[in-house]
Amino acid sequence: MYYVIAGELTLFLGDERIEASSGSHVFIPQGTPHAFVIRSDGTEFLVSFAPAGLEGFFVEAGSP
């Protein structure tokens, strides 16, 4: 799930393209290929994952 707090994102869900701006909520079903592009300076967004477990990927792939 993506929730855009400020700014604009373009989300790609499979073959679908969604333009999301402040206040937009986009649900992504599990297993759907997806990507996003930040389209404006100062963009802020919240990403939520369910069920839990994906946070381990960020710990392994990211830098402390």
Quickly list DSSP for 46-58. EE--SSS-THHHH
- Confidence bin at 6 (pLDDT 50/70/90): very high
Rounded mean pLDDT of the chain? 92
DSSP H or E stretch at residue 60 = helix 55-61
* Number of structural domains in the chain: 1
Mean pLDDT, to the nearest integer, of 24-30?
A: 94
- Confidence bin at 19 (pLDDT 50/70/90): very high
Is pLDDT of 64 > 80?
no
Domain enclosing residue 11, as ranges: 2-61
Cite the DSSP H helix spans in the chain.
55-61
